[in-house]
Chains A and B, each alone.
Chain A
């Protein structure tokens, strides 16, 4: 870390945007906002704005990608050119290809892929505005989109990051904290099965710090999960009201 950087945590122990170390950014979730897609979701997490859309399951094209014993999940994580300060080239970068792969691997365990052999589903995650932690927010939205598409799932998947900033373990890093801070640990969780499907670490943490960060991230995941479940149910709330009459 360079000494010139301004303090990321002030004397009161608050972060740049006034959050406490273990506080999440404000989250807004919406399900079923793209009528053309089989399933879709939108997430706002702080300044992050991300759309997720699911198409399928359908016949896999090209055919050689189909698996005779399971469904294939094809995932594209993409950042819009206008999602960051400096224009991002719309071509998929090395980073985006990797994140697409990581997101796919974190969602596949939650889907009953063996129920629909020889088919494929296409998942698109489009980052409209990015401010750190987009892969986690993307996973959270994608899980909702898959559930809304009526694809059978073992559990929803929810993701959240924790990290180390100014020698403090903090939850849900934003862009500056991620870049200037010393470590970032994104975690994806299947909350009911209590299974982790994604665990990465970027930076340096000692074993104790890592454990603290992981536990903090898991706590964050569980908080977001409640909102995720609420968002999914809200779409059908009108139905429930009819029922109560």
Chain B
């Protein structure tokens, strides 16, 4: 029996997607030889694999993911970090200080205070243990400036694009630094507020239209038009 839905059709949890020789991909599950959806989303398939692109989902930590988190709690030898996932992540003091941590010498709240924003990588995580973070790599650590955006974690892959084509387009057109946390938090840092605004506008647009095709081209076009408009208004002001 074939697949019962057209591509990109919206489905709700429990809807029968396909029957027969198929495998269940993301947000779907196999029961007997039938494949059902497990989240609300849009159906998609390639070959024998049926996927649902979730319209709303949770962030599931994976080892190696770059995430953006906020410090929630200061413990005896590290911090608890909220990474917008069902699990609270831990960051060890020794990892941040890159030497052994001695409670009598170091005051943790002076290194990272509650509410501080950090970019970190997940170094270990499994079903039985909470995720462990590390900041011991270039580009990771405390965030001191920039604009913060929150999106649904399921849409981050769309913002990255094929081999990073989408982010690099925005970066190129706006000259902004963009950090995409896989947990759905984005940091945009630019030379001036206008560029940051422009980059954020593009990101917002991707979130709203994440499930449409040909988005990279439309975003490029939008960015160029906006920039052209700004040039014109600037020139007029100078006159």
Where the two chains meet, the residues of A that have a C-beta atom closer than 8 Å to any C-beta of B are 56-59, 68, 110, 112, 116-119, 147-156, 190-193, 229, 232-233, 236, 239-240, 242-243
Contacts and interface: CB of A to CB of B under 8 A. Distances in A.
Q: How big is chain B's contact interface, by range?
A: 20 to 34
Contact of B14 (A150, A151, A190, A236): A190
Given A148-B56, A152-B13, A156-B12, 14 more contacts: A110-B14, A116-B86, A117-B128, A118-B87, A147-B39, A147-B40, A150-B40, A151-B58, A154-B29, A192-B14, A193-B14, A229-B12, A236-B10, A240-B10
B227 interface: no
Contact of B13 (A57, A147, A240): A147
| Interface-centre pick from A56, A112, A147, A148 (highest chain B CB count, 10 A) | A147
Contacts of A239: 55, 208, 211
B86 A58 contact: yes
| Interface-centre pick from A190, A233, A236 (highest chain B CB count, 10 A) | A236
27 contacts: A59-B86, A68-B128, A112-B29, A112-B38, A147-B40, A148-B56, A149-B56, A150-B40, A150-B56, A150-B58, A150-B152, A151-B58, A152-B39, A153-B13, A154-B31, A154-B36, A154-B38, A155-B13, A155-B36, A156-B13, A193-B14, A193-B36, A232-B12, A232-B40, A233-B10, A243-B8, A243-B212
Interface in B1-57: 8, 10, 12-16, 27, 29, 31, 36, 38-40, 54-57
Contacts of A110: 14
Contact of A153 (B39, B87, B209): B39
B239 interface: no
B208 A242 contact: yes
B39 A154 contact: no
B127 interface: yes
A60 to B, nearest CB: 10
Contact of A236 (B38, B55, B212): B55
Nearest to B15: A192
B88 interface: yes
Given A57-B86, A153-B39, A239-B55, A147 B12 contact: yes
Q: Interface of chain B, helix or strand or loop or mixed? A: loop
Given A56-B86, A150-B39, A191 B14 contact: yes
| Interface-centre pick from B8, B15, B54, B58 (highest chain A CB count, 10 A) | B58
Interface string B66-85: 00000000000000000000
A242 B209 contact: yes
Nearest to B88: A59
A193 B10 contact: no
Contacts of B38: 112, 152-154
Interface in B190-217: 208-209, 211-212
A119 B127 CA distance: 11
Nearest to A191: B14
Contacts of B13: 147, 152-156
Contacts of B14: 110, 153-156, 190-193
Contacts of B58: 57, 116, 150-151
A233 B55 CA distance: 11
A241 to B, nearest CB: 11
Contacts of A117: 127-128
A151 B212 CA distance: 24
Nearest to A31: B40
A152 B212 contact: no
A119 B88 CA distance: 10
A149 B86 CA distance: 12
Contacts of B87: 59, 118-119
Contacts of A148: 40, 56
A232 B11 CA distance: 9
Contacts of B88: 59
A18 to B, nearest CB: 32
Contacts of B128: 68, 117
A116 B85 CA distance: 10
Contacts of B56: 148-150
Contacts of A119: 86-87
Contacts of B29: 112, 154
Given A147-B12, A147-B13, A243-B211, A152 B27 contact: yes
